[in-house]
Amino acid sequence: MRDRLLHCYEKELRFIRRQLVDFAESYPAIASQLLLEPDKCEDPHVERLIEAFAMMAARVQLRLDDDFPEITTALLGLLQPELLAPMPSTTVVQFTGDPDRAHATTGTRIPRHSQIHTPPVKGARCRFRTCYPVTLWPIEVTAVGVVALDRGNPLCPPAAVAALRVELATMGAQRFSELPLEQVRFFFDGNAAVANRLYELMFRQPLGVIVRPGRGDLEASRVGDDARFLSPTHLRPVGFGADEGLVDDARTSHLGHRLLREYFLFPDKFLFGEITGLTPATLATVGAKLELLILLDRLPLDLEARLGPENLKLGCTPAVNLFPHQAEPVTLRQTEAEYRVVPDFHVPLAYEVHSIRRVEALSASTGQVREFRPFFGLRHGDPREGEVAFWHAARRPSGRKLDSGTEVDLSLVDPRGEPPALTPGDTLVVHIVASNRDLPAELPLGTRGGEFQIEGQPGIDRIRTLRKPTAAVRLPGGQEILWRLVSVLSLNHLSLLELLDDGRSHQPGGPMAFRELMALLDFADSAVTRQRIAGLVGLDWRRVLRQIATSEGRLLTRGLEITLHLDEDHYTGSSAFMFASVLERFLAYYTSINSFTQTAATIRKREEVLKRWPPRAGEALII
């Protein structure tokens, strides 16, 4: 704010001095009385008047410029509010079950959006909420490795020559057949190269899963007659579903946009996978040890000596620094046009408003509650309802030094946009979703005293942090960022062909329009994310026909076959496969009605296809 005001002030001062030069040349007699000369004024009082007028003109100019952001942010706040709100700190946590439940045969369920918190830091607890549901079972991962398989087993597909072997054991010697597991979810941990390689092994070209009793390393290569086979459809990557977002509400956000934004901001959110189909019938022959063999068509020699049980973790979920909160109450006054929403007067730098959920006024005389509705919303009501009032919020940069956070000011208006009739002395109550600003970066994590805690949830021993909490990401100020966000809105009205076609789409190495589209959604805008976007070096597409199974039989359907060409050198320390997986889902969400996409990815300098996904329409696979 101060920098913009200074810029406008200096601009107005230069303009006034240029006008004074013309005035002094045209009316030298009057100019001499004011001691005006072409480039200066000798009278200090006149000079102060000039500077004061420049300041007033600068403030008027600043207010006029602010009209554009208010209109634009109101539109964005109605259509896609998640584009404007700060992206709070994010991490990955692991829940560990209570040792007293080691002999239990039931799981401890931790619902999505469960609240966890840290010990106080600078007078405030950092509060996070979980993003995935977690079920803690009395089991642990005891071994992870890769093995070569004996040929000729009728249970395995002919192409299966190796397997990723995961051994699980119960903690209380109970049988796995006694546990109603249904599924097991893993977080791929360890250094980035190993974690992403494991993710690729499990989801790139799996041939199925062998479920069998634990046998140990000596018999790992022999499948055995007591094993069960699960098809590749029982391997599911986690993080792509509508109910698996970090922050966004699926009712307002475009799921394709959300996936790309979350990938650029926190890619570890996608390092989760699960094996389903672990029914009591499948586990009927399994005792206290269970082996899962993810069948592969090649032996990954680069991982033989690098894997261990620490690379696959149970009981994990991403967690984001968001929590419901009631802001400090404010006394209404007829003389006030705006009210600052302050989450906590005592530690203002420990809180930041993420979004406003509800605004109410509590009558000082009757105790009745009056609701204010969002001014730029759909609930403007019927005129017969009587007097209705609304609220409108404006997010502004903090005026404090060394504070990169934002503040929110609230205005109360009537249906005409004018100040409403208020009762002085009533109390304004604002219910918000808040974050802890930049405080999570200062958490003393890694020690027992600095870990997360949970209240009202028995059966939990520890909550460990597996990833350092990220820094909060906020949109930079200025009108240019608002034009960029408006461009994001325009993507909703484009067809998939319009997104892909830049006049050179059929030529390898010409995906310029698609890279620009990804850059619009790259709110992190770091060197790493820009490098990943640049790794898309080519994009081809063609119209195809496929037979699609429906309830009426098999039908011919038109769709698009899209091939992504990636440069693996741009994904050092990450995964070209994961990036391609996110793009595959993104493209599917732009599918037109009665159509589909089928995406394939290739690596430059290789002749093989990295993966060819099944045809997909939105979230649904079409086979």
Percent of the chain with pLDDT over 90: 47
Q: b/e map of 107-130 (b: 16 or more CB within 10 Å)? A: bbebeeebbbbbeebeebbbbbbb
Confidence check: pLDDT of 379 > 70: no
Which residues, at least 6 apart from 615, have a Cβ–Cβ distance to it below 8 Å?
546, 548, 559, 596, 597, 598, 621, 622, 623
Q: Would you state the structure tokens that stand for residue 102, as one six-digit string?
A: 């080691």
The whole-angstrom separation of Cα 72 and Cα 87 is 19
pLDDT interval class at 548 (50, 70, 90)? confident
pLDDT interval class at 495 (50, 70, 90)? low
CA distances from 314 to 151, 168, 183, 310, 453 (A): 32, 10, 12, 10, 18
The whole-angstrom separation of Cα 281 and Cα 16 is 86
- Under 8 Å between Cβ of 283 and 139: no
CA distances from 325 to 94, 343, 352, 367 (A): 25, 7, 10, 21
Confidence check: pLDDT of 17 > 80: no
Greater confidence (413 vs 322) lies with 322
Q: Would you state the structure tokens that stand for residue 45, as one six-digit string?
A: 């009082």
pLDDT at 622: 63
* Across 52-56, 96-100, 355-359, least confident range: 52-56
Neighbour tally for 28: CB within 10 Å: 11
The whole-angstrom separation of Cα 238 and Cα 270 is 6
Confidence check: pLDDT of 233 > 90: yes
- Assign 3-class secondary structure to 108-133: EEECCCCEEECCCECCECCEEEECCC
Which residues, at least 6 apart from 552, have a Cβ–Cβ distance to it below 8 Å?
none
Q: Return the H-helix or E-strand segment holding 384.
A: none
Place of tokens 């109603």: 180
pLDDT interval class at 380 (50, 70, 90)? low
Q: Would you state the structure tokens that stand for residue 343, as one six-digit string?
A: 């989450």
DSSP letter for each residue of 234-249:
GEEEES-STT--SS--
pLDDT at 509: 38
Q: Would you state the structure tokens that stand for residue 520, as one six-digit string?
A: 């619009």
3-state secondary structure at position 501: coil
CA 109 from centre of chain: 24
pLDDT at 602: 95
Q: What angle do CA 468, 471, 475 make, to 5 degrees?
A: 155
* Across 100-114, 157-171, 384-398, least confident range: 384-398
DSSP letter for each residue of 533-547:
HHTEEEEEEEEEEEE
pLDDT interval class at 410 (50, 70, 90)? very high
Q: Would you state the structure tokens that stand for residue 174, as one six-digit string?
A: 């109970």
Instruction: Identify the sign of the CA torsion 341, 345, 349, 351.
Output: negative
CA distances from 103 to 26, 174, 285, 347 (A): 98, 7, 19, 45
| Phi/psi-derived region of residue 437, left when phi > 0, alpha when psi is between -120 and 50, beta in every other case | left
Q: Return the H-helix or E-strand segment holding 159.
A: none
Q: Return the H-helix or E-strand segment holding 98.
A: none
pLDDT at 620: 66
Greater confidence (599 vs 511) lies with 599
pLDDT interval class at 135 (50, 70, 90)? very high
Q: What does the pLDDT look like over 94-134, one tens digit per residue?
A: 999 999 998 999 999 999 999 999 988 888 999 999 999 99
Q: Return the H-helix or E-strand segment holding 620.
A: strand 620-621
* Across 208-222, 412-426, 551-565, least confident range: 208-222
* Across 57-71, 458-472, 530-544, least confident range: 57-71
* Across 12-26, 190-204, 554-568, least confident range: 12-26
- Under 8 Å between Cβ of 190 and 466: no
Q: Work out the mean pLDDT of the chain and round it to a whole number.
A: 85
pTM for the full predicted model: 0.85
The amino acid at residue 555 is L
Q: What does the pLDDT look like over 475-489, one tens digit per residue?
A: 876 566 677 777 777
The whole-angstrom separation of Cα 167 and Cα 182 is 17
3-state secondary structure at position 512: helix
pLDDT at 516: 82
